[in-house]
Amino acid sequence: MSRLATLEIDGKKYKFPLVQGTENEIAIDIKTLRAVTGGVTTIDPGYKNTGSCESAITFLDGEKGILSYRGYAIEDLAEKADFLEVVFLLIFEELPNQEQLDKFHSDIKAQSLVDEDVRKIIDAFPKSAHPMGVLSSLTSALTAFNPSSVNVDSEDAMYNAIVRILGKFPVLVAWTLRKKQGLPLDYGDNSLGYIENILKMMFHKPNEEYVQNQVMIDALNKLLILHADHEQNCSTSTVRIVGSSHAGLFASISAGISALWGPLHGGANQAVLEMLEAIKEDGGDTKKYMAKAKDKEDPFRLMGFGHRVYKNFDPRAKIIKAAADEVLEDLGVEDPILDIAKGLEQEALNDEYFVSRKLYPNVDFYSGIIYRAMDIPTEMFTVMFALGRLPGWIAQWKEMRLRKEPIGRPRQLYIGETHREFKTIKNR
């Protein structure tokens, strides 16, 4: 027998079905709420209690610290999978066999050129421009150069749009870095693996051979997998809502990049590094910054701590912390900032303020330390997050389109002035 929730308003009772997910989560289905109650709506700022969709892509249990993509534990994927396999898994629901993976990779490679005119756009940006703004603009500009990717009315058209963005996005990522560093904007090498090619595109110098480093390849592979999807977070919800107007994949992803940029979301990785640097410059007094983070009069927050959903360790942070130790050792990098980060973590884990609010390190707390050891500039950290999150955004957009979800359009409770008589300007 189906279960029901009862809502009582002014003595009148309304029944709504309870729906259960495959991991036994329960939701109240209020699709008919306004119709049956004559216009009553719900208020939920920040959507803390609102499920915006049903999704079969990523599951996370914030209380237990569990994260899985399509049923596969993040720990297994981060340890054993290649990023491109995870991309395929997220978008096409199953892990690929070798033949499927080879075809997918070759379709992506066939799309890895960007129209030469895009260089003119990037040339017009000042070198000081933040790479996230540049990346968002260039991704949006791709729409103009690939108009057939906008109206995707068949699965073929959808597939073509997907491999196009997967082919061209890493080139744009590399170009934002190269522009900043004054290096020529050129292409990678299609004989390489997806990750190897990204590294070469980012780092190769025109006058010397680029030598691949297995530690860097493994580190980037792991970081991109850990960032690949995280269900209905701010940027993913943005991608779904923009896509719900049928604006097209590239425009939706461009909007997602803008959402990711903010320091409360993906921009936290840059903010963490800047915070750790500031603490170091200030003499390394972690206690002083802990006190600032707890002071309600002080806007300072401990960046890289806390999460809307995780009320336990972020499982990605655990993996990244272990990876940070390994990568720094393997690359022979000693970074005093790692010690400051570990010190802050220890203090927070034993501090009543953080313990009672269930504030633990999140994915961004240690990732920047690895990026820094890989010689990636701080302003590029959130771009690296976007590179990892791309397949998640694509998978969520595809799911939304295939499920024929309605245009996203929340309601509100109006609290402004009621009717006022208009006065012409000379009478005001």
Q: Which of 253, 363, 374, 383 binds ligand CMC (CB under 6 A)?
A: 363
Q: State the nearest-atom distance from the C-beta of 365 to ligand CMC, in Å.
A: 7
Spatial neighbors of 208 by CB under 8 A, at least 6 apart, are none
User: Which burial class, exposed, middle or buried, applies to 11 when counting CB atoms under 10 A from its CB (0-12, 13-18, 19+)?
Assistant: exposed
Site for ligand CMC in 261-300 (CB under 6 A): 264-266, 268, 293
Q: What's the first-to-final CA gap in the chain, in angstroms?
A: 64
305 binds ligand CMC (CB under 6 A): yes
Closer CB to ligand CMC, residue 82 or residue 364?
Answer: 364
Q: Is residue 354 a contact partner of residue 361, using CB atoms and an 8 Å limit?
A: no
Place of tokens 């997050």: 385
Closer CB to ligand CMC, residue 188 or residue 392?
Answer: 392
Q: How many residues bind ligand CMC (CB under 6 A)?
A: 21
Tell which residue, 286, 410, 377, 382, has the closest CA to residue 340: 286
- What letter does residue 408 receive in the DSSP assignment? P
Binding mask 172-211 for ligand CMC (x = CB under 6 A): ----------------------------------------
Nearest to ligand CMC by Cβ — which residue?
Answer: 306
301 binds ligand CMC (CB under 6 A): yes
Q: Which of 201, 239, 302, 319 binds ligand CMC (CB under 6 A)?
A: 302
89 binds ligand CMC (CB under 6 A): no
Q: Which of 303, 340, 376, 384 binds ligand CMC (CB under 6 A)?
A: 303
362 binds ligand CMC (CB under 6 A): yes
Q: Is the dihedral of CA 270, 77, 63, 26 positive or negative?
A: positive
- Tell me the residue length of the chain: 428
Q: Which of 12, 80, 357, 411 binds ligand CMC (CB under 6 A)?
A: 357
User: Which burial class, exposed, middle or buried, applies to 145 when counting CB atoms under 10 A from its CB (0-12, 13-18, 19+)?
Assistant: middle
As a whole number of angstroms, the distance between CA 111 and CA 200 comes to 17
Active-site residue numbers?
307, 364
Place of tokens 């990636």: 376
Q: Which of 82, 231, 364, 399 binds ligand CMC (CB under 6 A)?
A: 364
Tell which residue, 208, 196, 200, 207, has the closest CA to residue 178: 200
Q: Which residues bind ligand CMC (CB under 6 A)?
A: 46, 230, 233, 264-266, 268, 293, 301-308, 357, 359, 362-364
